[in-house]
Amino acid sequence: MSMLESYLAGDWRAGTGKGVAVADAVTGETVTRVSGEGLDLAAAVAYARRTGLAELGELTFPQRAAALKAAALALQERRQELYDLSARAGATRRDAAVDVDGGIGTALVYVGLARKGLPDHTLIVEDDPVPLGKGGTFAGRHVLTTPRGLSLQINAYNFPVWGMLEKLAPAFLAGLPTIVKPATPTAYIAAHAVRIIADLLPPGALQLVAGGVPGLLDLLGGQDHIGFTGSADTAARLRSDPAVTRRSARFNAEADSLNCSVLGPDAVPGEPEFDLFADALVTEMTVKAGQKCTAIRRAFVPANLLDAVGEAVEARLARVVVGAPGADGVTMGALVGLAQREDVRAAVARLARAGSVIYGDPDKVEVVGADAERGAFVSPLLLRADDPARPEPHEVEAFGPVSTLMPYRDAAEVNELIARGEGSLAGSVVSYDPGFVRRVVLGAAAHHGRLLVLDRDSAAESTGHGTPMPQLVHGGPGRAGGGQEEGGLRAVHAHLQRTAIQGSLATLDSIIN
């Protein structure tokens, strides 16, 4: 099986050595091998800093938006190729839509935001002059300019296309050349997307390195940006690197998250919110086989509704068909690999100490169109923990189709339980009681990057608990990494250096025009 090529300094090159075999999530066959050995990362960094930065610097914000649009449209045109590759990573058509169409949509939203909200210039003037003297001869204002560095984007395996595009779009608009380091299990999907768009972007604006990146951080410093999505362990390791601690490279992390969803006490069986809650929970468990950093891990329901919710969710899970993407009736695909399945099983074993598995068997699942053991299949797994004070559900993230139901007594208690997640990307409240919603949202806000309220009035148009929107911030405090991505043009601004400039009004004018 051939070695996956990296795109460095304008050329596609394969790493040397044996590399790592990447298996098809469904069949276990080797899809490709990945090795970063022998790749000249120093040359890639130099190419980004010299060629990429200069080429991007020649383009105004609207011109960058136009290039980004061309890239997004090329991906749209050839999205079937990405769907086909995604299936090999275990993704159903629905999963691939989240990744591929979601990524393209995100890039296009950024195109629109840039056209509307960024000037026909290469810098942003952030505010009006602030007078700094009574005579009006001296003032200050803030400009945002492109750092003289690059953006290293280290992505997770679950969304190889969306994860790349949601980081690339704001960095590209900001004029920062990008080096993408996709996660090995799905690097071939990201690399294919790069093949589709590479020639549509200026030279040096986008490079991709498959495999490890030893020594790369040694080359980065205060003008560079590192965007990371992945585990808290890796986040901590990267954040401890002298590139960050000593040279102050900007670092943005999105890491583990024990996201919650809260059912309101008003949402008894028969109320629309009861069904909305059960539907959303099952959706979050099964899309991407639960391999989503925003998936609901902790489902808090009023104590008196615990049995009813359990039954409603079990009934829905019983209709889930696990199997090969594209096979007849399949609604949930495979995990990305066998190692990840072992991780999920281990995490479920830990979670089960706090209660019991009430739906599914961690070691057994019926599968359509594939071999359940050769492929990385796992059943949806619903746990129930009657004592929500147990630590496990608030600490252990099973990165698969796994959620834990827990009871709560009142808004005060559920707010305490939410806080025990120590910071999450996304939470939701499913209730039609404005007082309850307000209390939980305001109590939970400091622990979340995003909070969704789901009710009968908004359900038809709701984008759902697990879907980050490019217009809104994505990220969360604490365990979730303390970072922030997207949020509309905030993400573009975050890639730029803010500088206060001071002088006479005429001087300030002549600098920015």
Burial class (CB in 10 A: 0-12, 13-18, 19+), 226: buried
Longest dimension (CA), the chain: 80
Instruction: Give min distance, CB of 484 to a second copy, in A.
Output: 7
Sign of CA dihedral 189, 190, 192, 193: positive
Q: Are 160 and 190 in contact (CB under 8 A)?
A: yes
Q: Which is nearer to a second copy, 99 or 224 (CB)?
A: 224
Nearest C-alpha neighbor of 264 from the set 254, 253, 252, 277: 277
> Residue 429 forms beta bridges with which residues?
262, 453
Strand, coil or helix: what is 426? strand
Q: Which is nearer to a second copy, 380 or 449 (CB)?
A: 449
Sign of CA dihedral 9, 11, 16, 18: positive
Q: Which is nearer to a second copy, 356 or 510 (CB)?
A: 510
Q: Which is nearer to a second copy, 196 or 255 (CB)?
A: 255
Sequence-separated (6 or more) residues with CB below 8 Å from residue 311: none
Q: Which segments within 443-504 are labelled E, that is strand?
A: 448-454, 473-474, 485-486, 497-503
Has 260 been annotated as catalytic?
A: no
Instruction: Give min distance, CB of 447 to a second copy, in A.
Output: 8
Nearest C-alpha neighbor of 313 from the set 448, 462, 421, 430: 430
N- to C-terminal Cα separation, the chain? 55
Q: Which is nearer to a second copy, 121 or 364 (CB)?
A: 121
Q: Which is nearer to a second copy, 250 or 298 (CB)?
A: 250
Instruction: Give min distance, CB of 470 to a second copy, in A.
Output: 10
Instruction: Give min distance, CB of 481 to a second copy, in A.
Output: 6
> Residue 323 forms beta bridges with which residues?
368
Instruction: Give min distance, CB of 431 to a second copy, in A.
Output: 10
Q: CA of 199: how far to CAs of 60, 161, 174, 217, in Å? A: 19, 17, 19, 27
Q: Which is nearer to a second copy, 322 or 452 (CB)?
A: 452
Sequence-separated (6 or more) residues with CB below 8 Å from residue 455: 272, 273, 276, 430, 431, 432, 437
Instruction: Give min distance, CB of 206 to a second copy, in A.
Output: 21
Of 166, 254, 284, 486, which one is the catalytic site residue?
254
CA atoms within 13 A on the CB side of 512: 25
Of 260, 284, 293, 486, which one is the catalytic site residue?
293
Q: Are 419 and 310 in contact (CB under 8 A)?
A: no
Sequence-separated (6 or more) residues with CB below 8 Å from residue 225: 147, 149, 150, 151, 152, 171, 176, 249, 250, 251, 252, 495
Q: Which is nearer to a second copy, 53 or 367 (CB)?
A: 53
Has 254 been annotated as catalytic?
A: yes
Burial class (CB in 10 A: 0-12, 13-18, 19+), 7: buried
Tokens of 510: 């002549």
Sign of CA dihedral 145, 147, 148, 152: negative
Q: Which is nearer to a second copy, 40 or 233 (CB)?
A: 233
Strand, coil or helix: what is 60? coil
Q: Determine the Cα–Cα distance for residues 176 and 492; give it in Å rounded to an integer.
A: 10
Q: Which is nearer to a second copy, 42 or 445 (CB)?
A: 445
Q: Residues with catalytic annotation? A: 254, 293
